[in-house]
Structure 1
Amino acid sequence: MFHKEGQRIIITTFFITAAIILAANFYVDEAWLRYTLQIGALIVLILILQFFRNPKRVAIKSFDEILAPVDGKVVIIEEVEEKEYFKDKRMQVSIFMSPINVHVTRYAASGVIKYSKYHPGKYLVAWHPKSSEKNERTTVVINTPKFGDVLYRQIAGAVARRIVNYAEVGDNVQQGEDAGFIKFGSRVDLLLPLDSLITVKLNQKVVGAKTCIATLKEKDEE
């Protein structure tokens, strides 16, 4: 199953690949060159199909858990000053997606969209400390029943040049559902309340709509 955001590029790449294979058969006499062109075109097609794959996942919904919004590796867990929306301290968990990861963004929690804004910007590498403030990005805030307002930020990287965000203010969204797509390598930041209990570790690989990122602290832990 492939994501709808990849339909155009998949179809275009398919026809280009078919054209290269046919043209090589008719116009390239050297066998090694013909096979190189044909195999190269097929590899590009396979990579495009792999990038836009959209595995079906059914989230086990819970108001008490924040699920990973994307597939990737946890690269930041720290307390930060969130300057755009909250303007106070939050726990930040950042997940880096390499080009081989699934790039579908999924809602980390169920609730109502309170804020959704696109910011044009630069294309620093996604793990750069300033990428969450300087790069092209979208910021979305979900009002949840248990965690209150939860913010996630889709961040373009050095290769990613297009962010797709489906969240609109007033939408009632469900945990694990499709929230958008980031094309070709990027990062997603989660900004959570300080009393959240983070359940992942640095460098841990996470799976969108499956891995629990945070839960609520029990009263006796506070």
Structure 2
Amino acid sequence: MAGRRAETHARFFLPHLAPGLNVLDLGCGPGTITLGLAAAVAPGAVLGIDAGSEQLELGQRAATAEGVTNVRFDQASAYAVPLANDSVDRVFSHALLEHLAEPERAMAEAYRVLAPGGVIGVCCPAWDGFLLAPGSEEVDAAIARYRKLQAANGGDPLIGRRLGTLLGGAGFTQVRLDARYERYVDAYRISEYLAEQLDTEGESSHADTLRQWATQPAAMFAQAWVSATARKP
């Protein structure tokens, strides 16, 4: 997550930003994308919220180090955003909805705080859209097991396919969908992240499979992402 930037992971949303706009980054993580949003709308203000205090501390330290003064980080739930109705010009969310048991509630909150005429941009991975090379039945089984674990924890690893339906159901209009693949430069790094989650759930054999696979010189790990923009009427 620390390697994500607005110019790469929010590229689909940047055309909807302009100086002076106020933005909510819903599920901001360590704030690396948030800071890019702040640069795009300065002197407009950006609020990044996340449920994890450690992530927010990383974001605040980065903002201080880079001298970014138009951004603020708060700990809050996506189901209870600490903003008034119709109070922000733009809402952005990256890699959040797939972890939520009730993404509809989060999109309802985004609709509530977004001003009429405002634009929302969301992006989620499609966990059935991996490209791992070289492929094998064992590594495919490890990825499938990770998907099941994520679903068992209340998330939806295939939510990218539902973004249009979620936004429309919340009341947004002019919904536009797009998709892209991201190839991770370091296949071992992303594989180790997934392996650690598998280890935590007692799936060490699948974790070891991913670690072994990632040591191959020609290993490639690419992931599909679905993005969507929509407008509040």
Normalising by structure 2, report the TM-score. 0.23
The structure whose Rg is larger is 1
**Higher RCO, 1 or 2 (CA under 8 Å, sep at least 6)?**
1
**More strand as a share of residues:** 1
